[in-house]
Amino acid sequence: MEKIEQYKLFARTHKFDLAVFFLRFVLAFIFVAHAAIMIAFANDTIDAFTAYGVPGALGLIIATIELLSGIMMLSGFVVELAAATQATITFFTMFLTQGGRGFFVENGGYEYSLLILAATTAVCLLGPGKIVIAKRYARTVRSLREGGVDAESHPLAT
């Protein structure tokens, strides 16, 4: 009976990690694709930001942040920071560009942005899970957080 319980625990943990990875992967794809369009059409990005009363160069800065955070989420490297950054950008975008248009996307509303905000917040709270490319780094950070490694002498802590 004990083996069955161990298997159930493994299956639940495995499903959780797959779900977190899938969410991270989809969000990373969205952020990288969106950033690529913003960078490829830099003049349009600058014009769009200027039309909202925001300095146009901020659009390219945000595109760069989206690109980097997408890569970070995909690799599993500092996922919480990447997700929190994207959640913050999405939150302000909702109010800056979509707030007065209502809820539904077909009217230019914030429906899609609210979904992205919820997903990035979930990833921020859940962390990277166990399926990460940057596995060594993730183990080191987890160890530092749990106090298992002397933070003073660890090379990544300096």
> Is 142 among the domain residues?
no
> Is 9 among the domain residues?
yes
Cα–Cα distances in angstroms (integers) from residue 158 to residues 24, 26, 135, 150, in the given order: 28, 33, 19, 11
Output the pTM of the full model.
0.76
> Is 90 among the domain residues?
yes
Contacts of 102 (CB under 8 A, 6+ apart): 108, 109
> Is 6 among the domain residues?
yes
Task: Give residue 156's pLDDT.
Answer: 45
Overall number of domains in the chain: 1
> Is 82 among the domain residues?
yes
CB atoms within 10 A of CB 28: 21
Task: Give residue 46's pLDDT.
Answer: 95
Reading the block at residue 9, the tokens are: 């625990």
Q: Let me know: does 103 contact 115? Beta carbons within 8 Å.
A: no
Domain of residue 112, residue span: 2-131
Instruction: Measure the CA–CA gap between 34 and 39, rounded to whole angstroms.
Output: 9
CB atoms within 10 A of CB 92: 12
> Is 137 among the domain residues?
no
Report the length, in residues, of the chain. 158
> Is 95 among the domain residues?
yes
Reading the block at residue 153, the tokens are: 């002498």
What is the mean pLDDT, run by run of 10 residues, along the chain of 158 residues? 64 82 95 96 94 91 96 91 95 87 90 96 92 67 59 46
Q: Let me know: does 67 contact 78? Beta carbons within 8 Å.
A: no
> Is 155 among the domain residues?
no
Spatial CA neighbour of 125 closest among 13, 33, 11, 23: 23
